């Protein structure tokens, strides 16, 4: 069981004890007296049940269970006597940590017909937790699905149903359950709990569904944008496609997103990003990639260190020449009828941390049209907006990617998640 699941199980155990711990501490006898039509405890059971109640109120669970035997030994007991006894016994067993013995007491209460509707709902939810704790996963699933069908499930119930399915290796069922939970949370405008989303990633992984795994991580980074989740997702995306058919442009943009989410870690990532940046006319990004790798001490072997040094030297020379010619390039780009030169100018400005000039150039290029890749231009526009702190405008730019290139479109969606 993973750490989040263990923590959740502990929390569930505590919440069950709290939920059930007050179920019968109020006087059943007073209730009977104030509501004549309601069933009452039989005369012979009053005193022994009162003694059990006093023990429960004093939190003397051992005494409560010992005195329960007196009621069990009564020659005649009404169904209501048994119901009240089960309320006290159930509490005592739960509070004593004797969950398997508590379950029959609560099952009997639910089937007795004496529970008010509110108590029925509360105990029904708690029963899912009790079944889950004793690893009776089929019953946990069945009880939980009934609560879900009634529209009364919270995140814990959804999690326990899905986790019970996971323990039974029913990973397709886990996916269906968590997706239904996500749909319900979205429809109610609620933030989904983290643990069901983690279960979704684990089951998608077990099913070997790479696209589903990426999609599950998207939900995680949307609601719980931890760097570890971003890192896992970006590595899956990086390694999941066919590198021989993935364009250099897509790969460079993947690395740009990894850089922005601070998930570049491996020496090959820094080296390949630098190489692609040089090839695609962005030496400033190449210098930045190798510099970041050096700062993280990513280059461990002599071959890696030598390659990084060579690439940095080459990229630095190209970047120096590039910067020296920016003013002339800007004049030429502004004069051009098509917008491609403006977009490339904006890319250069971005690589030299001149986001305001980058934004102006890219917007001008998009307005002119005639672009080699309009989707990449929109992504560069969004990056410029994001670097300037214009998050809403960045999301708008990323969402404007039309999806001509499916991989760039996917990256644009991830950029939008990060911007939000």
Q: Residues 305-358: pLDDT tens digits?
A: 999 999 999 999 999 999 999 999 999 999 999 999 999 999 999 999 999 999
> At the topology level of CATH, where does 3-134 sit?
1.25.40
Say whether pLDDT at 13 is over 50. no
Dist. CA 399–CA 82, nearest whole Å: 63
Per-residue pLDDT at 286 = 96
Of residues 406 and 31, more confidently modeled: 406
Per-residue pLDDT at 2 = 54
Q: How high does pLDDT run on average in the chain? A: 89
Say whether pLDDT at 6 is over 50. no
Helices (H), 261-389: 267-279, 283-295, 302-324, 326-335, 340-351, 355-368, 374-387
**H and E: helices and strands count for the chain:** 23, 0
What are the sequence ranges of the domains in the chain? Answer: 3-134
Dist. CA 337–CA 334, nearest whole Å: 8
Say whether pLDDT at 18 is over 60. no
Dist. CA 59–CA 53, nearest whole Å: 10
Contact 142, 161 (CB under 8 A): no
- Report DSSP state, residue 73: T
Dist. CA 392–CA 397, nearest whole Å: 9
Per-residue pLDDT at 405 = 79
Q: Residues 184-221: pLDDT tens digits?
A: 999 999 999 999 999 999 999 999 999 999 999 999 99
Say whether pLDDT at 131 is over 70. yes
What pTM was estimated for this model as a whole? Answer: 0.81
Q: Residues 247-293: pLDDT tens digits?
A: 899 999 999 999 999 999 999 999 999 999 999 999 999 999 999 99
């Amino acid at each position: 069981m993973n750490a989040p699941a263990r923590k959740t199980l502990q929390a569930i155990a505590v919440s069950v004890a709290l939920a059930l711990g007050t179920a019968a501490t109020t006087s059943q006898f007073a209730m009977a007296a104030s509501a004549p039509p309601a069933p009452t405890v039989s005369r012979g059971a009053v005193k022994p049940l009162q003694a059990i109640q006093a023990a429960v109120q004093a939190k003397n669970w051992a005494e409560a269970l010992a005195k329960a035997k007196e009621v069990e030994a009564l020659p005649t007991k009404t169904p209501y006597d048994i119901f009240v006894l089960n309320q006290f016994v159930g509490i005592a067993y739960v509070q004593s940590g004797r969950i398997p013995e508590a379950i029959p007491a609560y099952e009997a209460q639910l089937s007795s017909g004496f529970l008010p509707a509110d108590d029925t709902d509360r105990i029904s939810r708690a029963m899912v937790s009790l079944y889950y704790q004793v690893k009776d996963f089929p019953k946990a699933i069945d009880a939980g699905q009934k609560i879900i069908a009634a529209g009364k499930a919270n995140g814990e119930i959804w999690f326990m149903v899905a986790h019970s399915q996971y323990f039974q290796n029913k990973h397709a069922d886990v996916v269906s359950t968590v997706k239904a939970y996500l749909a319900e949370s979205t429809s109610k405008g609620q933030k989904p709990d983290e643990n069901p989303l983690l279960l979704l990633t684990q089951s998608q992984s077990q099913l070997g569904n790479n696209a589903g795994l990426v999609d599950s991580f998207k939900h995680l980074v949307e609601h719980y944008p931890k760097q570890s989740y971003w890192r896992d997702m970006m590595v899956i995306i990086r390694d999941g496609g066919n590198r021989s058919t993935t364009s250099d442009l897509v790969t460079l943009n993947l690395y740009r997103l990894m850089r922005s989410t601070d998930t570049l870690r491996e020496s090959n990532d820094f080296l390949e990003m630098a190489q692609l940046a040089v090839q695609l006319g962005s030496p400033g990004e190449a210098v930045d990639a190798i510099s970041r790798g050096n700062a993280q001490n990513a280059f461990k072997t002599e071959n890696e260190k030598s390659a990084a040094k060579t690439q940095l030297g080459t990229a630095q020379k190209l970047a120096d020449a590039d910067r020296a010619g920016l003013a002339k390039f800007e004049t030429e780009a502004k004069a051009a009828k098509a917008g491609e030169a403006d977009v490339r100018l904006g890319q250069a400005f971005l690589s030299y941390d001149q986001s305001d000039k980058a934004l102006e150039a890219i917007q001008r290029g998009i307005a002119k049209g005639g672009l080699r890749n309009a989707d990449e231009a929109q992504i560069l526009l969004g990056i410029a907006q994001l670097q300037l702190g214009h998050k809403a405008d960045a999301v708008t730019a990323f969402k404007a990617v039309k999806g001509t290139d499916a991989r760039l479109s996917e990256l644009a969606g991830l950029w939008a998640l990060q911007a939000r």
